[in-house]
A and B are shown apart, each in its own frame.
Chain A
Amino acid sequence: MTGAASGKIAIRGLRKVFADRGGRGGTVALDGIDLDVQEGEFFCLLGPSGCGKTTLLNILAGFDQPTGGEALLDGRRISAPGPDRGVVFQEYALFPWLSVMDNVMFGLIETGTPRPKARETAEQYIALTGLRGFEKSLPHQLSGGMRQRVSLARVLANSPEILLLDEPFAALDAQTRLLMQRELIKIIQSVGKTCFFITHSIDEAIFLGTRVAIMTARPGRIKKILEVTLPYLRDVTSSEFNALKREALKLIEEEVEAAGRQ
């Protein structure tokens, strides 16, 4: 056990420097991040592109190691990827040779669930994510929205402690994105999972998050955390929603300008 853990996820003085190819020096992507994500909350990380959001998520997922500081899940230091953290990638990352059913069963099989039980559980999450009737389809036969449903069902089937979502809807068209945001809220409410959701869209962050952390331009730090107490599903035309939007927009604009000056 390391550090004084308080949240589901605890990030302490996290730094990440990417060494330049061959030479000395490098890119400081994250510079001293301190953050706690509480059990059951929907935590949104909002920041301009290139500020280090994916870098942070990769460290939480265990794909990448920090240069300094540490990240803890339930008080244990994160050092490698594992089924306790389900990652939803912007690029879907489905196995193209496996059917929807086999993609959703993948994690269950790998973690030792017997086939009949795995199939049963997979069917349950296929139904939850609205994929009934597509069990035999291959990923490339599905639309982007459907693929992202598969990718969500695949991690939910594994019953992870937390979901890590890296701009999962950024590649979708505007209508599909709105639909998927609503569906995601319903799904998360029904399974009661903690979420760590990355986005560069202010609307998306305020629509989804119970807390929204705004990052600075590179090197990434946490600039401010906004609490969003509005009940789901949120009315995006309400004055409370717009007041939050205005505040977030002002904070982000400062950072985009700062990035422009770099």
Chain B
Amino acid sequence: MRWQQEQVRRIAVPLGLVLVWEAAVRLQLVHSAFVPRPSVVAINWFYWIAGGPEEVAPLYSATWLNHVLSSTERVMAGLLIATVVGIVLGILVGRFRAAEQLLDPTLQVLRPIPVSAWLPFAVVFFGIKNVSAIFLIFIGAIFPIYLNTYHGVRQVDRILIRASQMLGTKSHRILWRVILPAALPAIFTGLRLAAGLAWVLVIVSEMLAVKSGLGYVMWDAYFFMRMDMIIAAMFSVGLMGFLTDRVIIWIKDWFTGWTQGLTMEPVQ
């Protein structure tokens, strides 16, 4: 009973929104040439995924998976490089005064430059290629990871470092045995923010810097006035972003399960 009630609560709002949308188009509150009915979007989305009759879906038939994979590949590549570089920089700058003096000023000046401002630079420098999109995702994703890692490292309780020293931990192992595990929850927060940004940036860069992926389909559909495809692509991005976040949460829970019970739980 409790479970059913919870599931109803979870789908009530999206279901309501779709019904309002369907009603608004049917009652001609919005023109169906601009906004197609959700049922039309659903059918064309299905054709986009699984293929459909030649006369209804000639352009996009059965190409969904390829576009999703192209976008996902870029997100993963950009995110992976940003994660490695961001964590390494965050730990170095957080732990070593010399690294802070060497690197932090540069990073703090680069950080306020909007990622969109890097777009023309990337296209000129790398060309209309995958690497442009990956570069932009990397630029966007690295800062949340770097900053959260840095703060995670700085917030490690000094008493834990002392405890490990008096138990015999050599100084080169403190990073591995104390600082990294203690900073891990903060690092994962950075990772989740970065993944959200990566999906934003993959769409932006695909509109301009490459010729495949969900962002490319959106831009292409715009030229053909295919609002149904634009909406289907938007939902696809939402879905992929959601799944990416779930995967990260799953990994995070695996690594930082010890924080459960330390933090507050929402009230019933």
A binds B: yes
Q: Which of A85, A97, A106, A138 contacts B164 (CB 8 A)?
A: A106
- Nearest-Cβ distance from residue B214 to partner chain A, whole angstroms: 38
Closest to B262 in A: A140
CA of A111 to CA of B168 in the docked complex: distance in angstroms?
Answer: 6
A82-B166 contact given A140-B261, A141-B261, CB 8 Å threshold: yes
Q: Which residues of B have CB within 8 Å of A50? A: none
A161 within 8 A of B: no
A110-B173 contact given A87-B162, A97-B258, A140-B261, CB 8 Å threshold: yes
- Nearest-Cβ distance from residue A107 to partner chain B, whole angstroms: 4
CA of A6 to CA of B262 in the docked complex: distance in angstroms?
Answer: 47
CA of A63 to CA of B158 in the docked complex: distance in angstroms?
Answer: 11
Interface string of B137-162 (1 = CB under 8 A from A): 00000000000000000000101101
A87 touches B163 (CB 8 A): yes
CA of A255 to CA of B66 in the docked complex: distance in angstroms?
Answer: 80
Chain A interface category by residue count = 20 to 34
Q: Which residues of B have CB within 8 Å of A158? A: 167-168
Which secondary structure characterizes the binding site on chain B?
helix
B208 within 8 A of A: no
A86 touches B166 (CB 8 A): yes
B177 within 8 A of A: yes
- Nearest-Cβ distance from residue A91 to partner chain B, whole angstroms: 6
Q: Which of A62, A83, A96, A138 contacts B167 (CB 8 A)?
A: A83
Interface string of A94-125 (1 = CB under 8 A from B): 11111000000011001100000000000000
Q: Which of A81, A91, A141 contacts B165 (CB 8 A)?
A: A81
CA of A110 to CA of B169 in the docked complex: distance in angstroms?
Answer: 5
Q: Which residues of B have CB within 8 Å of A140? A: 258, 261-262
B130 within 8 A of A: no
CA of A98 to CA of B261 in the docked complex: distance in angstroms?
Answer: 14
Closest to A141 in B: B261
B166 touches A83 (CB 8 A): yes
B169 touches A93 (CB 8 A): no
- Nearest-Cβ distance from residue A88 to partner chain B, whole angstroms: 10
Interface string of A143-185 (1 = CB under 8 A from B): 0000000000011001000000000000000000000000000
Q: Which of A61, A107, A111, A154 contacts B162 (CB 8 A)?
A: A61
A241 within 8 A of B: no
CA of A83 to CA of B162 in the docked complex: distance in angstroms?
Answer: 11
B128 within 8 A of A: no
A91-B159 contact given A81-B166, A110-B167, CB 8 Å threshold: yes
CA of A91 to CA of B262 in the docked complex: distance in angstroms?
Answer: 16
Near A by CB (< 8 A), chain B positions 187-216 give none
B170 within 8 A of A: yes
A97-B169 contact given A87-B163, A89-B159, A140-B261, CB 8 Å threshold: no
Q: Which residues of A have CB within 8 Å of B167? A: 83, 86, 106-107, 110-111, 154-155, 158
Q: Which residues of B have CB within 8 Å of A97? A: 181-182, 184, 256, 258
- Nearest-Cβ distance from residue A110 to partner chain B, whole angstroms: 4
CA of A97 to CA of B261 in the docked complex: distance in angstroms?
Answer: 12
Q: Which of B163, B164, B165, B182 has the most CB of A within 10 A?
A: B163
Q: Shortest 8 CB-CB distances between A and B: which pairs?
A: A107-B167, A83-B168, A81-B165, A93-B163, A111-B168, A110-B168, A97-B258, A81-B166
User: Beyond A87-B163, A140-B258: 19 further Cβ-contacts under 8 Å?
Assistant: A81-B162, A81-B165, A83-B166, A83-B168, A86-B167, A89-B159, A91-B159, A96-B258, A96-B262, A98-B258, A106-B167, A107-B167, A110-B168, A111-B168, A138-B258, A138-B261, A140-B261, A140-B262, A155-B167
What is the interface of chain B, defined by CB distance below 8 A to chain A?
157, 159-160, 162-170, 173, 177-178, 181-182, 184, 256, 258, 261-262
